[in-house]
Amino acid sequence: MEFEEIVALSKSKLKEGLRSFVPSALGLLFFLILLRAYEIIFVWRQTFFQDIQPSVIAYGFFYDTVFFFQLAALLCIIFLIVFFINRKAALIVFRTLATVFTFIYLLLILYFSKSAIPLGSDLFGYTISEITHTVGSAGGFNLIYLVSFIIAVTLIAGVITRFNKIKLPGWVQTAFYICLIISWLAVKSITPKLQNFGNTTDYSLAVNKLQFFISKSYHYFFVGDFEIPISNYYYDSDTTNNAGFNYVDSNYPFLHTENSPDVLGNFFNIGDKKPNFVFLVTESLGKGYSGEGAYMGSFTPFLDSLAQHSLYWDNFLSCGGRTFAFPPSIFGSLPFAEKGFLELNENMPPHFSIIKLLIDNGYTAKFFYGGDAHFDYMDTFFKRQGAQVIDIKDFGPGYKKMPSSGNGFTWGYGDKELFEKYFSITNQDTTGHRIDISMTLSMHSPFLILDQDYYRKRVDEIISKSSLTPDIIAQDKSYRDMLSTVVYTDDAYRYFFNEYKKRPDYNNTIFIITGDHRMPEIPILNQIDRFHVPLIIFSPMLKRTARFSSVSSQFDIAPSILAFLNKDYKIQTPSETTFMGSGLDTTRQFRDVHSYPLMRNKNELLDYLYHDYLLSDKTLYRIDENLNLIPSNDQMMMDKIGNLFDEFKQRNDYMLKTKRLIPSQFIF
């Protein structure tokens, strides 16, 4: 066969393949439109319980269509390669791939219906056992998923077969490939961006869940946040960064002189006896539904009352959007590593924490948790500090677990049971100095608690006595189950403090209460709202109370406690630390003097806080006194914060590669 004949035959085969691909692809588009309709009709209302703006629906269909053409380009290449071999095989391969993509898309929609957040690369930050644990909490995989898969396979095969029988006009095929080319040439300008939406919820609704997952996964595997060559690590011992840190040793990238001021001492009656510390970290305690000014109304009447007799920070932030971030952030003010510091597990480099410091000064330390403390390697972290870990396996008879979900799964013991276990152990020891840490669990999906009907009624009572707008009242009622766990946990705290008052060491104890992060299942207003949690420091030792509107975070707790112990109790503390924070700000008015990153999910380091600015997903926002985010076009500030973010990533990358945080002489 002559070369010209081969070329002519190839062109003819290519044209035939291109014509054959279009009907099959349009069949897939039709099915994706059906999935979006299913998401709108069933998932959106079930998840958000509110009217959806027509513009958001329009954006959703638009982004679905754009993503379809981007996906179609990839499928077209595969289709044509197989088509040159065998036409029937090409159709089979296309149907198979279309089925796989569609089923994954369906699973992502179901995940979104449970979490109210699209699934991204954070999936790869968890082990198989943790994923199984989390899926179990949402009801697990059951017959519904199998039936959905069978239906998807049948429908896709039927739809594509039916579309293959349609003879399309030439202009339709031409228009198809023009749209396909445009979707790739304009990919950056037509990608959904958070700043184009009124809030995070609208963005989460509009974005195509499969496109979001693929984009985040691609970034994780092929781009990454930590791909900075070690040879490019920048270090200058004569400079300080904008948090005021004076770094002292290029071999230890986070090591700096510790000069955080003692801002707590003036609020306390200082005695000769060292105080006990009780940390109460609350699962999903967000400022949106707890405390004065909560935009959903407050469902924590006891904590609200306690806050009136405490030091209280209105604009306090968690350092992560999930539980993994709180142990290293609160107790060590430690960097995130790649997937969160805890994920280093047994490979955590030697580090400093206030737990270690207190143990070295005669304290005993215990961590109490009603679930499996190995989740997120919390047990590994606390044992490394020298703390005893008490979790689900240590409760024994006489304690009731939280109700199970449909597949029999339960996270473990509720918050009242946790505190009962706490007192059964700590009441046996009232003589020594202690640091006790409790992590609650009840405010967690699937939001099932004992006596839930009673707490649902309590939610309704709180709503009926509020002055909320009709729209907020309707929203609150739709989240009754979730809010009932908030009221339950608040009652558990009432029990805790009533019991603790009976202890002889009550008058010499400092209680620190905060949330590990905000509840993600209730729609999030903006990118800082997911981190907005209360901070309460209460103690009978307080000589005056105060309310602060300045911004601080979990990173700032350890430096302030360290300075407090050093100045007021003469406990020797290191002159150099690796703290990310510079201490709590006790300014009454709104301001932010801090500079550090925040980590939404494992594998997602996208946010950097600098003074009253937030750089989030490469978009700059100005933060107002109500923690609203206002888009900013200040290019100089964008560049400055971007450089600070890059500097952190460089130091973080160096720490990951060398496993160096503190010199050996600091280890005790």
Residues forming a β-bridge with 509: 276
Residue 314 CB-density burial (10 A; 0-12 exposed, 13-18 middle, 19+ buried): buried
Cα–Cα distance between 86 and 79 in angstroms, integer?
10
Q: How far from each other are the two terminal CA atoms of the chain, in whole angstroms?
A: 81
Give helix 470-478 / helix 452-464 axis angle, nearest 10°.
180
- The structure's pTM equals 0.83
Superfamily in which the 232-666 domain is placed by CATH:
Alkaline Phosphatase, subunit A (3.40.720.10)
Question: What's the CA gap between 148 and 154, in Å, rounded?
Answer: 10
DSSP string for 62-89: HHHHHHHHHHHHHHHHHHHHHHTT-HHH
For residue 329, count CB atoms less than 10 angstroms from its CB and return exposed for 0-12, middle for 13-18, buried for 19 or more: buried
Q: Which phi and psi (to 5°) does residue 246 adopt?
A: -105, 100
Distance CA 20, CA 352 (A): 64
Radius of gyration of the chain (CA): 28
HSE at residue 4, side-chain half, CA atoms within 13 A, is: 0
Could you give the CA distance from residue 351 to residue 653 in angstroms, rounded to a whole number?
Answer: 16
Strand, coil or helix: what is 251?
coil
Q: What is the pLDDT of residue 235?
A: 41
Q: Which residues lie closer than 8 Å to 590 by C-beta, 6 or more apart? A: 315, 549, 550, 551, 625
Q: What ranges in 3-53 are assigned the alpha helix state H? A: 3-38, 45-48
Asked if 300 contacts 292 with a C-beta cutoff of 8 angstroms, the reply is: no
Among residues of the chain, what percentage have pLDDT more than 70? 84
Taking residues 605-609, what's their average pLDDT?
A: 93
Residue 668 pLDDT > 50: no
User: Could you report the per-residue pLDDT of 288-309, keeping only the tens digit for each?
Assistant: 999 999 999 999 999 999 999 9
For the segment 522-541, what is each residue's pLDDT rounded down to a tens digit?
A: 888 888 999 999 999 999 99
Closest by alpha carbon to 560, among 583, 537, 541? 583
From edge to edge, which strands make up the β-sheet containing 535-538?
388-390, 363-369, 433-439, 276-282, 509-515, 535-538, 311-313, 546-548
**E-strand spans in 357-420?**
363-369, 388-390
Q: Rounded distance, CA 664 to CA 351, Å?
A: 10
- Check residue 328 and give its pLDDT: 97
In angstroms, the CA 509 to CA 501 distance is 10
Q: What is the pLDDT of residue 201?
A: 75
- Whether residue 265 has pLDDT greater than 60: yes
pLDDT in tens, 348-391: 999 999 999 999 999 999 999 999 999 889 999 999 999 999 99
Q: Cβ-count burial of 432 within 10 angstroms (0-12 exposed, 13-18 middle, 19+ buried)? A: exposed
Mean pLDDT of 584-607: 92
Torsion angle in degrees (nearest 10) through CA of 271, 563, 539, 319? -170
Q: What number of other Cβ atoms are within 10 A of residue 449's Cβ? A: 21
- Report cis status (omega within 30 of 0) of the bond before 192: no
Question: Looking at the DSSP assignment, which residues form a beta bridge with residue 601?
Answer: 604
Average pLDDT value for residue range 642-653: 93
Instruction: Extract long-range pairs of 422-428: CB within 8 Å, 24+ residues apart.
Output: 422/368, 422/496, 423/499, 423/500, 425/366, 425/368, 425/390, 426/366, 426/503, 427/503
Give the side-chain half-sphere CA count within 13 A for 86.
4
pLDDT at res. 157? 61
**119-150 residue pLDDT tens:** 777 677 666 665 555 555 555 455 555 565 56
Name residues whose C-beta falls within 8 Å of residue 347's C-beta, 6 or more positions apart in sequence: 659
pLDDT, position 127: 61
pLDDT given for residue 418 in this prediction: 98
Arithmetic mean of pLDDT, 459-479 = 91
Position 130 scores a pLDDT of: 54
pLDDT score of 233: 41
DSSP for 143-189, written as a single string: HHHHHHHHHHHHHHHHHHHHHHT----HHHHHHHHHHHHHHHHTTTT
pLDDT digits (tens, 9 = 90+) for 497-529: 999 999 999 999 999 999 999 998 888 888 899
Could you give the count of Cα atoms lying within 13 Å of 195 in the half-sphere of its Cβ? 14
Given this model, what pLDDT does residue 143 score? Answer: 55
CA–CA gap between residue 344 and residue 366 (Å, rounded): 22
What single DSSP character describes residue 350?
Answer: P
Helices within 434-556 (DSSP H only) = 452-464, 470-478, 480-500
Pairing verdict, β 433-439 and 276-282 = parallel
Domain boundaries of the chain, sorted by first residue: 3-223, 232-666
Strand bridging mode 576-577 / 363-369 = unpaired
CB 138 within 8 A of CB 68: no
Asked if pLDDT for residue 244 goes beyond 80, the answer is no
pLDDT at 237 over 50: no
Give the chain's length: 668
Tokens 């959106």 found at: 44
Summarised one tens digit per residue, pLDDT across range 28-52 is: 888 788 888 878 877 776 666 556 6
* Band (23; pLDDT cuts 50, 70, 90): confident
Least reliable range by pLDDT among 128-137, 160-169, 400-409:
128-137
Strands 607-610 and 595-598: antiparallel
Do the Cβ atoms of 386 and 114 come closer than 8 Å? no
Q: What is the CB-side half-sphere exposure of residue 347 using CA atoms within 13 A?
A: 11
> Which one, of 600, 561, 606, lies nearest residue 579 by Cα?
561
pLDDT digits (tens, 9 = 90+) for 178-236: 888 888 777 666 677 776 776 777 788 888 888 888 887 877 776 654 443 333 443 44
> Is 53 in contact with 202 (CB distance < 8 Å)?
yes
Give the pLDDT confidence of 540-558 residue by residue, as tens digits: 999 999 999 999 999 999 9
pLDDT single digits (tens) 325-353:
999 999 999 999 988 999 999 999 999 99
User: Mean pLDDT across the chain, nearest whole number?
Assistant: 86
Of the candidates 325, 205, 316, 204, the residue with the CA atom closest to the CA atom of residue 603: 325
